[in-house]
Amino acid sequence: MFNKRFLVNLKSILTGNLAITDRQKYSVIIYSVALVHLFLTCLFGYFKVKPLFIFNIISVLTYLSCTRLINKDIFLLVYYITYLEIVLHSFVATICVGWQYGFAQYLIAIIPVCYYMCYTMNTKHRKIVIATGSALFAVLAFLSCKVLSFYFVPIYELHLKSLELILYIFNSICTFLFLIIFSLTFVFEMNLSSKQLRHQNAILDKLASTDPLTGLYNRRSMDVFLTQALKSGSSFSVIMCDIDNFKKINDSYGHDFGDIVLREIARITTDQVKGNGYVCRWGGEEILILISNLAKEKVCRIAEDIRRNVANHVFQFDTKWIRCTLTLGISTHDKQDTIEETITKADYNLYVGKRNGKNVVIY
């Protein structure tokens, strides 16, 4: 069970699975370090280096016990335990067998780990202070191990050049693997942060540009589209729509029913305009449509299709149902006019339609 979970978590990190949790991440770190110490336990047991044999047994048990702290999300304590164990192990290994086996290299690998773990931990402490302090102490410990190797003869002389080479290569590989894994994890999490930021910006843009009730563009967005249409120099028309007797619907059936009517009419309108322009909730029950590069006859046909589909639609809410109608006023932009004047003409045509029985399209 342990091996399977460890391999799954490690695969998630290496393949950039952005859904990996902090628990999985720290579990991979702890189990990886525990495996290294398990190998060293067997090695030093075979060569009868008793202090390092005992130290590595204690290290393995300590790391395995850290899994309980990880399950309780006590990551800061796990960090301190890991850091202290690596520093102590470097000193003990240097004193027992010497500098040449490369155990002090782990102090180099721990520096980026300090910054990464402190940065990702959810703690109120000063993360940069903890990380920098840990990194500086690791540098000091590394140099101290080197100084020790000059002034003290190792307690155990193994007298095996092949073992010295093998251990040095093993420790170097482990050091570089840890550096690579943490670098990859950092890159993946940076990509995750960028994607989340882009996603949040897209949501904010949508909230800023659309009407929350109907999903139509809001007035601010339509102002941008109208300005763009004017600057392009192409022909465009605007259709001003107003729901007939909408106040009566709200008063008689309630605002919830009124909201359903607005949403359904917004959907019908969007379906008819799709690909030819933009639909905006201009205010209250008014909808403004911008259609570019279409002949007047086609604009009128779209407006008539909207009117007919709304008139034929049955609006339902619980056991209640009604029919309602739409009056539409159309105006094609004249290059001598401003946008406001074009909208005013469409609004005037809408007014004419209201005065002449409603449920009509006036051009």
Which residues make beta-bridge pairs with 291? Answer: 237, 277
Q: Which element (helix H / strand E) includes 53?
A: helix 50-71
CA-to-CA distance for 186 and 184, rounded, in angstroms? 5
Tokens (6 digits) for 88:
């102590």
Options 1.20.120.520, 3.30.70.270, 3.40.50.2000, 1.10.1740.10; CATH for 219-362 is 3.30.70.270
Q: Which residue in 85, 157, 189, 285 is the catalytic one?
A: 285
Residue 340 annotated in active site: no
Q: Is 288 helix (H, G, I), strand (E, B) or coil?
A: strand
- pTM of model > 0.85: no
The alpha-carbon radius of gyration of the chain (Å, integer) is 36
- Closest-CA residue to 138 (of 163, 172, 113): 113
Residue environment code for 80-117, b if the CB has 16+ CB neighbours within 10 A, otherwise e: ebbbebbbebbbbbbbbbbbebbbbbbbebbbbbbbbb
CATH 3.30.70.270 residue ranges for the chain: 219-362
* pLDDT digit string (tens) for the chain, length 363 residues: 445 555 555 555 445 444 567 777 788 888 888 999 999 999 999 888 999 999 999 999 999 999 888 888 888 888 889 899 999 999 999 999 989 999 999 999 888 888 877 776 665 556 788 888 889 999 999 999 999 988 888 988 877 778 888 889 999 998 898 888 878 877 887 888 788 888 888 888 878 888 889 989 999 999 999 999 899 888 999 999 999 999 999 988 889 999 999 999 999 999 999 989 999 999 889 999 999 998 899 999 999 999 999 999 999 988 888 999 999 999 999 888 899 999 999 999 999 999 988 999 998
